[in-house]
Amino acid sequence: MNIALRGVGVIFTRATTALQHQAQVKPALENIALAIKEGEQVAIIGPSGAGKSTLLRLLATAQRPDTGNISILNTSPWSISSGVRQKLRARIGLVQQSPPLPPRQRVVTAVAAGRAGQWSRLKGLLNFFYPMDIPGVRATLAKLDLGDKLFERCDQLSGGQLQRVAIARALYQQPALILADEPVSAMDPVLAEHTLNLLKQEAGQHSATLVVSLHNLELAMRLFPRVIGLRDGAILFDKPVEEITAGELDQLYANEQLQAAVNHIGQDQPQWQPLTPPRCQP
């Protein structure tokens, strides 16, 4: 398996108040079991706070699990040296919802940095000042309709353009595994679908595994053959998209507090009655 998780859990600990030392333990992920084959394209959906970003950080080896076993690209990332783990990370492309791109950095430099993990330190430093593969970076940006933004600074771009720069960076990297956390949240619906289709197409052409978390349920259900539903840090379902039922989606997104509030408001409001026009007295 390209990706394998068995009994994986992540626990966040925080103080209850600023003046207390008592810790509050909150599981972000609990007993996650997951297997993804090489070249698969998978969407992760679920309500806010379900653990989608934490799961992607685990797959990117940016987060170490507190329990269980994890294998990424057929390698156990936490049983190898930090140097070997860094080489593993060079084979993983991570697209974040809010890309951490320096505001004054040029787009060409930001995209070319996708291959920094594959270069020597000297080559990476030289590329920072003198980008070495301008034609290659331009060709990648052109796929995302950003070819004319090559030498612009990142702080001159919109939120949607920055997200496309982050996607271009991952594509230029040519990784074996692409992880994307809400990669089109700042784009309009038409551009979002176009960009996801491009990401899927590029991943397929390079036989890369693609895992994308999405808030947009419609896009996830229409574009991805396999969908994982995550709620409260646990997998509610993991199946081909055509097998997912409306009941499972209702359960995934159920909000008991919101529903109780809606019901309470409905009870407090008087029933609507049609107005009876006054009759003129003869």
In a domain, 268, yes or no: no
Separation CA 41–CA 200 (nearest Å): 7
Separation CA 73–CA 91 (nearest Å): 9
Query: Rounded to 5 degrees, what are φ and ψ at 215?
Result: -85, -25
Would you state the structure tokens that stand for residue 50, as one six-digit string? 């379900």
In a domain, 110, yes or no: yes
DSSP 19: T
Label residue 17 by pLDDT band (50, 70, 90): low
The per-residue pLDDT for 12 is 87
The DSSP bridge pattern shows strands 3-15 and 23-36 to be antiparallel
- Whether residue 275 has pLDDT greater than 90: no
Give the residue numbers spanning the domain of 162: 40-65+82-254
In a domain, 10, yes or no: no
Would you state the structure tokens that stand for residue 150, as one six-digit string? 């090559």
Label residue 272 by pLDDT band (50, 70, 90): very low
For the segment 46-74, the average pLDDT, to the nearest whole number, is 96
**Is the distance from CB of 72 to CB of 88 less than 8 angstroms?**
yes
Label residue 102 by pLDDT band (50, 70, 90): very high
Q: Into how many domains does the chain fold?
A: 1
pLDDT, one tens digit per residue, over 103-122 is 999 999 999 999 988 877 77
**Is the distance from CB of 143 to CB of 171 less than 8 angstroms?**
yes
Neighbouring C-beta atoms of residue 5, cutoff 10 Å: 24
Task: Provide the edge-to-edge strand list for the sheet that holds 3-15.
Answer: 23-36, 3-15, 67-72
In a domain, 9, yes or no: no
Label residue 15 by pLDDT band (50, 70, 90): low
Does 257 or 243 have the greater pLDDT score? Answer: 243
For the segment 53-73, the average pLDDT, to the nearest whole number, is 97
In a domain, 100, yes or no: yes
Would you state the structure tokens that stand for residue 66, as one six-digit string? 């507190």
- What one-character-per-residue DSSP string does 40-93 give? -EEEEE--TTSSHHHHHHHHTTSS--SEEEEEETTB-TTSS-HHHHHHHHTTEE
The per-residue pLDDT for 22 is 57
Label residue 123 by pLDDT band (50, 70, 90): confident
Separation CA 208–CA 200 (nearest Å): 9
- Whether residue 260 has pLDDT greater than 70: no
CATH of the domain at 163: 3.40.50.300
Task: Provide the edge-to-edge strand list for the sheet that holds 209-213.
Answer: 92-95, 177-181, 209-213, 41-45, 226-231, 234-240
In a domain, 77, yes or no: no
- Whether residue 158 has pLDDT greater than 80: yes
How much is the mean pLDDT over the chain? 89
- What one-character-per-residue DSSP string does 199-240 give? HHHHHHHTT-EEEEE-S-HHHHHHH-SEEEEEETTEEEEEEE
In a domain, 153, yes or no: yes
**Helices vs. strands in the chain: H and E counts, helices first:** 10, 9
pLDDT, one tens digit per residue, over 183-211 is 999 999 999 999 999 999 999 999 999 99
Share of the chain above pLDDT 70, in %: 87
In a domain, 264, yes or no: no
- Whether residue 262 has pLDDT greater than 60: no
